[in-house]
Structure 1
């Protein structure tokens, strides 16, 4: 394939994925982290690993993508505050809320369907799977979607300001700190941030061509960092080095989206705190928003800024 057609393929990929991606990346550029001290994709802190039963930790992380932009740490913090992750001996409140996430049965019924994988039939607020998924849906319906207003979402769970502050404090302690970027990763992130607001251009490699497409931006970012990676998104994904599923992402990682690992159509640059920079589609500009790694289209991540990760 010639370089012209390779660039075209990369540009087409960005544009094809951009329409479904736009539905979940509807935030303004330069949006801060979804949660102070935490993020949608944050790894569990040592405190979280010690405090949360493994089954519940896995459940919180599995249920969070039910609401794009919702941090699993918020679900876990609510579970902690309400029943200590199901450890409360009765799990029945004076207001007759029940189960590990403390739902009134009437409220639970509004968020119980569809029944999540592994849930009970019929669903019940006593079942941890049903309850955690219902909590994610309740939060999503009241401000948590796309990280728009997590404080409002938590307030709707329990309309008490002290409760909201308590949940957010617990959530912040459950998220491992995101390492600061260093070396090539830091330079790649800095370059990408400097391009915010630059127009999307199909096949574009930079300002000399009027702007970037998705893989043009990520290639240029790593070129500015002194590393050479392939031009198109699929080739960048194949180039690696790949990260294992569940690995903590760090600033500078590349995030890949598509219908399968063999059909990558979009790439973004992770900047930390659950955020990424990408060039999304024609008519848009380079922007920063949720990393969206909980989306069904997310296929994996690579880390070019490691020894052997890019040819100089």
Structure 2
């Protein structure tokens, strides 16, 4: 597939801060805690306001092993870098801290004598502090740190995907994964651990007499991808072969993106399996009887790739 999209880490399931001195910006690459930092992609330069770029770089430098791109991805997913806060949430500020969490981990990022949840410098430095304390130091366990930040598998996948968008030179605002593709990835990630079921279209919930809820059912490979894209408002046929033929096909020279569907078999007329890409090397899929929905390395017998999010 040529130069493919930079990889996500496999999901798991389951400090004195000097704001001014370190804020050299992220353009051209820098270092965080003595660790080489990746340069920004065109998408990062276009999406992230200049003052936020500097803050992400400076705050990341306080935690060895934490990339500015992860902090920036949290900022993007939470409030679009302070441009779209969720006023209905109990959390506050550009990094959407719960008040109790900010009370425990909040820091004075701009050295004005006050740690303010709504101040971008304070919020971003505090996010770096919290992630570092939660497993990000020395890059030990970024997914686990993000899961501590927001206990949602799909959130972790969304942030790691966005972080890759911000460091891939081949990804721009116009060519990066669409909202529909990311929604499909979010949905598929949320199904991790559900059992494989031939012909399965998803879990079935039944309320028992004692008030408990019994979960039955599951997915087969194409049932999972069909449901993932249905969540994004894109209708797909039922079988892997039909989904492959529905396209649109991605040229072999194109960059693989999260949300792309990966088809396997002996050839275009014999497609027997489908998964949904989350990176250049990994996919979420329902592989076979006796297994569960899980993250696998992309199989060798790849027949082709489609991008349903581009369907009209």
TM-score by length of 2: 0.42
Q: Which has the larger share of helix? A: 1
TM-score by length of 1: 0.42
